[in-house]
Chain A
Amino acid sequence: MPVVELTVNERAVRVDVAGHWTLIQLLRDGLGLLGTKEGCGEGSCGACTVLVDGRLTRACLALAVRAAGTRVTTIEGVATDAALHPIQDAFVRHGAIQCGFCTPGLVITAKALLDEHPRPTDHEIREFLSGNFCRCAGYNLILNAVRDAAGLLTEKR
């Protein structure tokens, strides 16, 4: 069984994986980090989105062995002990969560968006989130939460 050494949420870890595992298996089955969800399993829905070396990644398509030496950020690494991340806080305040299954992937994707475009245009927000499906279809609340987290709502008041 291969051993993969990587950094997950700022913590160095060694994890036993099977050679044919994907990254989501490494996270959920290998490390017990159950925040990342598997939706479609074929790269379409975005529920399993994590950051690998700061880049958006579908954990259901990435091979676990290839995560060796990388820095992975999952939903568990977004908040601090003291406080929710501003994106999470905005999701809560706007009620941008219904069943919650898509939320971890959406928060990670929104984080990547705001890391790259701290003041995104509406087009950039929609474009970034276009690969994350919410089957409860709460898209307007989600868009508002992201706009708010980017400080785009308060300024208009």
Chain B
Amino acid sequence: MILRPFEYVESKTVDEAVTALRSGGDDARVIAGGTALVPLMKHSVLRPERLVSIARIPGLADIAPATAGGLSIGGVATHWAVSHAKVVQERSPLLAYACGRVASPTVRSMGTLGGNLCYGESASDPSPALLALRATVRLHGPGGARTVPITEFFTGFYATALHEAEVLTRIDVPAMPAGARWRYLKWTPRAQEDKALVGLAAMLVLDGRRCRLARLAVGGVGASPMVLARAEAALRDHELDEATIARAADAAAGEVEPMDDLQGTAEYRRDMLRVWVRRVVTGLTEERAA
């Protein structure tokens, strides 16, 4: 399969990329790792006239510790780099693990965390983790820089809060609370490298069996990755017994609007979400605190 001709711009700075995107208008696209964009171009789903590369902008791939135990991750850091970085494994094991579950090792070593977010796909592995961690993203565009909470970044089916000619430059990840228990559960109906039918990120802080903090987010079920706010509320400040966990699982199943596709029906997705919320939360309550 071959690509249609396009103009290729290798940006040296974010401003240069924004300028090239702005002058290209609707015909210009950002390219980082290319693992999502290039297949879409080969299938002529997208026919950009200009590709603006941000992959080689100095500093945009770095992964650095931030204040108060957090992380600052450059938009074009690859999934491989994020999942292998010691500072991520230590400070945000949930994110390291989720990035290590994206597709296959080869795709992980090409695809970038920022690219994954900007693609806006529901069945993203890092997105539920970043939603559970309540990360923020930094965007640079013609109007300057702005910060958007990840909880407001996904706006619909393959849709994000990115404005025209904006580039995602950094992902800021707050520290995981002390004693947090976490899990990312990727449920695939066929094979390991499939996309998630349910990609459930969970983070809990417990005091005995009482839940002090509950974070649940899911990808692959609805039109976009989302926080399971009602399920979180059903857990928070409650004793996590069987009945409470079952109520949270029902709340999760009730707050999603699942999609039908070749991987599974909407009803199957809803049922699997209910099952996995129950199993993951039950498992975390039985686990010893980290």
Name A's B-contacting residues (CB within 8 A): 18-22, 25, 38, 41-43, 46, 49, 55-58, 60-63, 65-66, 109, 112, 126-128, 130-132
Known: A63-B38, A130-B191. 11 other contacts (CB 8 A): A19-B6, A20-B4, A20-B5, A20-B6, A46-B104, A63-B34, A66-B55, A128-B105, A130-B104, A130-B193, A131-B104
Write the chain B residue with the least CB distance to A60: B1
Write the chain A residue with the least CB distance to B38: A61
Contact B43 A42 (CB under 8 A): yes
* B86 beta carbon closer than 8 Å to chain A: no
Residues on A with C-beta less than 8 A from B110 are: 55-58, 61-62
Contact A22 B106 (CB under 8 A): no
Question: Given A49-B106, A127-B105, are A43 and B38 neighbors across the interface (CB < 8 Å)?
Answer: yes
CA A43 to CA B102, docked complex, whole Å:
13
Contact A20 B3 (CB under 8 A): yes
* B182 beta carbon closer than 8 Å to chain A: no
5 A-B pairs within 8 Å (CB atoms) are namely A18-B5, A56-B105, A58-B110, A131-B105, A131-B193
**Cβ distance A36 to chain B, nearest Cβ, rounded Å:** 13
* B107 beta carbon closer than 8 Å to chain A: yes
Digitize B180-211: 1 where CB-to-A-CB distance is under 8 Å, 0 elsewhere: 00000000000111000000000000000000
Contact B39 A61 (CB under 8 A): yes
Residues on B with C-beta less than 8 A from A43 are: 35, 38-39, 107
Digitize B31-57: 1 where CB-to-A-CB distance is under 8 Å, 0 elsewhere: 100110011001100000001010100
Write the chain B residue with the least CB distance to A113: B105
Residues on A with C-beta less than 8 A from B35 are: 43, 58, 61
Residues on A with C-beta less than 8 A from B34 are: 61-63
**Cβ distance A38 to chain B, nearest Cβ, rounded Å:** 8
CA A126 to CA B10, docked complex, whole Å:
36
Contact B103 A131 (CB under 8 A): yes
Residues on B with C-beta less than 8 A from A19 are: 5-8
Count CB-based A-B contacts (< 8 Å). 83
Contact B5 A22 (CB under 8 A): no
Residues on A with C-beta less than 8 A from B8 are: 19-20, 63, 65
* B290 beta carbon closer than 8 Å to chain A: no
Write the chain A residue with the least CB distance to B40: A42
* B109 beta carbon closer than 8 Å to chain A: yes
| Interface residues in B, total, Cβ within 8 A | 30
Residues on A with C-beta less than 8 A from B7 are: 19
**Cβ distance A153 to chain B, nearest Cβ, rounded Å:** 23
Contact B1 A42 (CB under 8 A): yes
* B80 beta carbon closer than 8 Å to chain A: yes
Write the chain A residue with the least CB distance to B39: A42
CA A25 to CA B1, docked complex, whole Å:
10
Digitize B157-194: 1 where CB-to-A-CB distance is under 8 Å, 0 elsewhere: 00000000000000000000000000000000001110
* B262 beta carbon closer than 8 Å to chain A: no
Question: Given A19-B6, A57-B106, are A41 and B192 neighbors across the interface (CB < 8 Å)?
Answer: no
Among A38, A57, A65, A126, contact of B109 (Cβ-Cβ < 8 Å): A57
- Which residues from 93 to 111 on chain B have a C-beta closer than 8 Å to any C-beta of chain A? 103-107, 109-110
Write the chain B residue with the least CB distance to A124: B105
CA A15 to CA B159, docked complex, whole Å:
39
* B2 beta carbon closer than 8 Å to chain A: yes
Contact A41 B1 (CB under 8 A): yes
Question: Given A61-B34, A66-B53, A127-B192, are A42 and B42 neighbors across the interface (CB < 8 Å)?
Answer: yes
Digitize B43-85: 1 where CB-to-A-CB distance is under 8 Å, 0 elsewhere: 1000000010101000000000000000000000000100000
Residues on B with C-beta less than 8 A from A126 are: 192
**Cβ distance B123 to chain A, nearest Cβ, rounded Å:** 15
Residues on B with C-beta less than 8 A from A25 are: 2
